[in-house]
A = this chain, B = another copy of it.
Amino acid sequence: MNISDATFQRLEAEFNAPSVRSSTSPLLNRQWISDAEAQQRAGVNPFPPGVVAPRPVFDIKKMRELLDMNNFALRDSFYELFKNPVFFPRYNESLAEQRARTIQRWRLIAKTGVFHNTLQTFTAEGRQRYEATLESVGAMEHSMEIKMGVHYGLFGGTVSLMGDDEQCAKWTPKIENCQMLGCFAMTELGHGSNVKGIQTKAVYDIPSQTFIVNTPCEEAQKYWIGGAFQSARWTALFAQLYVKGVCHGVHPFLVRIRNEDGTTVPGVTIGDCGAKNGLNGVDNGRMWFSNVRVPHDHLLRRHSQVSRDGTFTSNFKSADERFGASLASLSGGRVSVSAGSLVQAKLALSIAIRYGLSRKAFGPPGQEETRLMDYPAYQARLIPPLATTFVMQLVLNHLKAKWQRGELGRELHVWSSGFKALISWHSLQTLQETREACGGQGYKSENRIGPMKTSHDVALTYEGDNHVLLQAVTKTVFSEFMKGVRSGGNFKGHFAYLKDAEGLRQADLSGMDARSAAFALTVMRRREAALFARLAADLQKRTATGVSSLQAFNDCAVLVEDAGRAHVELLMVELFHHTLGDLQRGGETEVADMLRLCGALHTARTVDEQVVFLRCGAVSVGEAQMMHANVGRFCETLRPHVLSLVESFGYPPHLLAPIAFDYVAHNSKSRL
């Protein structure tokens, strides 16, 4: 592909402010990286000193392929590219430096041509390649992944999903090759989660056949728009569409915000969002529009159209359906965010588990100290999140496949919302736990976990705030549940299991194999069933007092979120055991056995960490005790395999951190 060199030459000039060029920020672990590289080249055992890699009981390569799904060579080629010093990690850079670095890196990644045909023709192969690229890049540095995700995924995705065929054909190739650099302008200062409430106006002006865009008040300023402050020339703008005085709700427009030379176009004002807790490689900006004229054919018109003479038409009957469709690009965003989240968790575990295997502390008097990983209390902190990470990756792979197939329905919405929420929380928790588990070393930037934690943190908020997403999940699923209730128990689809509610209640967990699908499903279904029933009763009680159903829902929202989590965790168990079944049938017994253990630990810890299972009667006190014991038991069983397990994440040494290897040598005086 002909990557637009001109774009990057211009951008690099724009971003390289004098302060950036004169930067003296130290590259703290250059030495370490070249060591890791040299070791790898020399074929040295990539384990911390003193750690004897146990003979894996499963095929690590097969496991990795199962986790990564596709584009293995492509991923490896990116990891290879990241040995270029441009990609070496740097800390303590100023905002301007970090942003400049991101542009520099982007050029090298874009020049590989990897984005060719990822947007133009919507193919599974293109999406897979796109996602594999983003995940690989995220392993190098999170800002870079997000910067590209905004341009290709949110901006490009909106054009390709919301534009009609003609629009797609015209613009997507230019987006792929960076001739048109864009951003995604949905959020406003006053409205984030509540997208419907945004106030930017696009009024169709019949005489001039243009949409006139205005920011009617300060709260309507576009806010947080990634890439808007410096790099973007275009934006996918979301605004309330007015035609002949009638508001038709939120619609997407392709709007030019800057000329190619970087100056803003008349009527557009752009400001900086400034320093963030992390992710400072992305130049988030704020935008105000004042009588900006957008050409008639820049309304992205796959779903809604305005004729030149001002007639509004739409493929959807209701404004709600239209609104839902216009958010489609967010589903893709959630798939990416979830995948990116797990990358951070996998890296952090790869680092911390290796450290825990070589680091020693305390021990019997006069004898050698004990490895951290040999303390059950330590295992209990790192092995459960490791197990959950395997489960979530395999579950997410189902969502990725669905998205790559081009499905866009209700199920995609529920899965992408629910998985994004639980996966991003899990990853943050894992990053925090690994930080603590590495003691003081976990607090050193060069050991990566801290910077990963701060940059990942925002994943809980963007592409839908996690709490709001869980509420949305319940809202959608609850109506399905109520259909079954109202039909007198003729539950269908997901809730079909409720046709045998009695069997579910009576199932004897203690008699089941704790690693079986039946065991996990029983526990998770009992909870879901109890919470949805409870929710139905509580909502009914509230509305009976005369409050609106919206009010009732808000009043019960703690339960609503619990129910949402219950639903998503059940879905996860179902999909996970689906994968296990496939593996078993495909003869992949060793991989399946290892994963089954991970699944069992995941289920046990899920119950062991949430009072709700006991509170709603899904498990008895005795069963909860058994679950607690299972956590310890499965940690012990998995203990010998933790190194093989993190090896199967597939990250080469130079993407990990000094404490994952010989940290004593790394810190030696001779290296000062």
A: residues with CB less than 8 A from B are 19, 24-26, 28, 91-95, 187, 189-194, 197, 218-219, 221, 223-224, 269, 271, 273-278, 280, 286, 288, 361-362, 364, 369-370, 375-377, 380-381, 428, 432, 435-436, 439-440, 442-446, 449-451, 453-454, 457-458, 460-462, 465-467, 471, 548, 550-551, 554-558, 560-561, 608-611, 614-615, 617, 621, 624-625, 628, 632, 663-665, 667-669, 672
The 9 closest A-B pairs by CB, nearest first: A277-B450, A377-B557, A91-B275, A275-B445, A92-B95, A271-B672, A28-B274, A194-B362, A614-B614
The answer to whether A461 touches B440, judged by C-beta atoms less than 8 angstroms apart, is yes
Which of A192, A439, A548, A668 gathers the greatest number of chain B CB atoms within 10 Å? A439
The answer to whether B632 touches A624, judged by C-beta atoms less than 8 angstroms apart, is no
Q: What are the residues of chain B within 8 A of A224 when measuring CB–CB?
A: 440
**Bound CA–CA A326/B25 (angstroms):** 40
Given contacts A192-B440, A218-B669, A377-B560, 19 further A-B contacts (CB under 8 A): A25-B94, A25-B95, A91-B274, A194-B361, A197-B362, A218-B665, A273-B444, A274-B445, A274-B446, A276-B445, A277-B444, A278-B450, A364-B548, A364-B551, A377-B467, A436-B467, A440-B461, A443-B457, A450-B457
Q: What are the residues of chain B within 8 A of A665 when measuring CB–CB?
A: 218
**Bound CA–CA A465/B377 (angstroms):** 13
Q: What are the residues of chain B within 8 A of A273 when measuring CB–CB?
A: 444
Residue A377 contacts which of B28, B275, B554 (CB distance < 8 angstroms)?
B554
Residue A558 contacts which of B361, B550, B611, B632 (CB distance < 8 angstroms)?
B632
Distance from A433 Cβ to chain B, minimum over Cβ atoms (Å): 11
Residue A375 contacts which of B380, B439, B554, B621 (CB distance < 8 angstroms)?
B554
* Chain A to chain B contacts (Cβ below 8 Å), 10 pairs: A25-B94, A192-B439, A194-B361, A197-B361, A376-B558, A377-B471, A377-B554, A380-B558, A450-B454, A454-B454
The answer to whether A221 touches B277, judged by C-beta atoms less than 8 angstroms apart, is no
Which of A377, A471, A668, A672 gathers the greatest number of chain B CB atoms within 10 Å? A377
The answer to whether A275 touches B446, judged by C-beta atoms less than 8 angstroms apart, is yes
**Bound CA–CA A609/B381 (angstroms):** 18
Q: What are the residues of chain B within 8 A of A375 when measuring CB–CB?
A: 554, 557
Which of A445, A608, A668 gathers the greatest number of chain B CB atoms within 10 Å? A445
Distance from A228 Cβ to chain B, minimum over Cβ atoms (Å): 13
**Bound CA–CA A560/B449 (angstroms):** 28
With A274-B444, A277-B443, A280-B92 as contacts: A436 and B453 at CB distance below 8 Å: no
Q: What are the residues of chain B within 8 A of A461 when measuring CB–CB?
A: 436, 439-440, 442-443
Q: What are the residues of chain B within 8 A of A91 when measuring CB–CB?
A: 95, 274-275
